[in-house]
């Protein structure tokens, strides 16, 4: 029986490539996107490549969408083997500089609604289905921008880039990863965070050195971990990343 995977924010960029690469491993992929037109278009493009992909409408800032997806997975499949929490927004306006003193509270709230609260709510709602899997995998797409270690290191390339809303949301996501991995330590479920690197996406810009195909590889590796793989880690391209 095929494994079932859900990828959020999968109509473009890293999410789209993650869905594509998972499906290429003979996995049934549910392509989550908040825009129905774009989501259906993305799913159709992958089906045209003979990949088993189905669009599901999912705006993770809306509880009704989360509930609908949970019900759909439970009724159609009864189990979820892989959850890739990829959906995210960047609302700070600019990467360079430090906007901590001026970032609007609304920007913080809107960023956390997607990057943190929506991700946590979706994961909690889908945990019963993931627990039915023989080897559940949860992969949180984080960012080096959420790393305390990187931001404290004056020699790190990221040191001059301190967009507070985005960075803080990813730091919170990293802690969710650690705590959830601890809570599920006695189970077969593995929970890990990955930084895809600086990727050419709507968030990463055209100046980024990595393609979405390259950026998706870290998530794919964690999604396909065997029983001896790690849990509660933060990594990029197979290398441990500083918390």
For strands 234-236 and 239-240, give the pairing.
Answer: antiparallel
Length of the chain: 243
Q: Which of 204, 73, 60, 46 is nearest to 127 (CA)?
A: 73
77 is catalytic: no
- Residues 6 or more apart whose CB falls under 8 angstroms from that of 94 comprise 163
CA distance 7 to 101: 34
Counting DSSP H helices and E strands in the chain, the numbers are 8, 10
Q: Per the residue annotation, which of 77, 116, 159, 164 is the catalytic one?
A: 164
Q: Which of 168, 165, 177, 176 is nearest to 146 (CA)?
A: 168
The conformation of residue 9, written as its DSSP 8-state character, comes to S
Largest separation between any pair of C-alpha atoms in the chain: 53
CA distance 107 to 113: 10
Contact 202, 12 (CB under 8 A): yes
Catalytic residue numbers read 164
């Amino acid at each position: 029986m095929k494994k079932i995977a859900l990828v959020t924010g999968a109509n473009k960029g890293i999410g789209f490539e993650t869905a594509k690469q998972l499906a290429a491993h003979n996995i049934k992929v549910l392509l989550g996107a908040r825009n129905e037109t774009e989501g259906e278009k993305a799913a159709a493009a992958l089906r045209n490549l003979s990949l088993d992909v189905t669009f599901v409408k999912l705006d993770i800032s809306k509880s009704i969408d989360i509930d609908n997806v949970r019900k759909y997975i439970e009724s159609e499949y009864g189990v979820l083997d892989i959850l890739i929490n990829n959906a995210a927004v960047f609302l700070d306006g600019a990467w360079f500089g430090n906007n901590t003193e001026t970032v609007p509270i609304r920007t913080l709230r809107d960023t956390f609604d997607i990057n943190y609260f929506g991700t946590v709510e979706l994961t909690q709602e889908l945990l019963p289905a993931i627990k039915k899997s023989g080897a559940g995998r949860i992969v949180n797409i984080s960012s080096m921008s959420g790393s305390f270690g990187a931001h404290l290191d004056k020699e790190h390339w990221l040191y001059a880039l301190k967009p507070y809303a985005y960075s803080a949301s990813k730091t919170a996501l990293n802690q969710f990863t650690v705590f959830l991995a601890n809570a599920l330590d006695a189970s077969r479920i593995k929970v890990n965070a990955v930084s895809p690197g600086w990727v050419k996406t709507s968030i990463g810009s055209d100046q980024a050195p990595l393609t979405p195909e390259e950026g998706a590889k870290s998530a794919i590796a964690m999604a396909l971990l065997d029983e001896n793989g790690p849990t509660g880690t933060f990594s990029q391209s197979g290398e441990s990343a500083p918390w």
